[in-house]
Amino acid sequence: MNAQLLDQFLSEDCDAHVHRKLLTAIHKQRASGVPGVQRYTFNHFNITLNFVTKQVSLEDDLAVGPQGEYKLGIEEFEEILQKRK
C-alpha cells in the first residue's frame, strides 16, 4: 500500500467541498450509530468509508494494483481532514 496516495488525494482532490462532504459523512454515521459502507468517486480518487471495518480505502483511478490503493482507519482519516481546516 502506498502512503503517498493520501498526500496526493489531499492535494489533488480534497478541495473544500470534498473535505466537507467526507467529514459530514463521518459525523452523520457516528451520530446514527448504524454501520455501513459509503463510496465516493472524485476526479482522481475513489474513497470508501467502511464503518463496519472502521477503515477508509483510497483508490487511485490512474494506478492499477496495490500501488494504487491505500487503507487507513476512519478515526485517523478524520483527524487528518480536521487538521486541514
Give the residues of the chain that fall short of pLDDT 70: 1, 85
Edge-to-edge strand ranges of the sheet holding 37-41: 37-41, 45-50, 55-60, 69-73
Q: What is the pTM of this model?
A: 0.91
Residue 50: per-residue pLDDT: 97
Secondary element (H or E) of residue 74: helix 74-83
Residue 84: per-residue pLDDT: 80
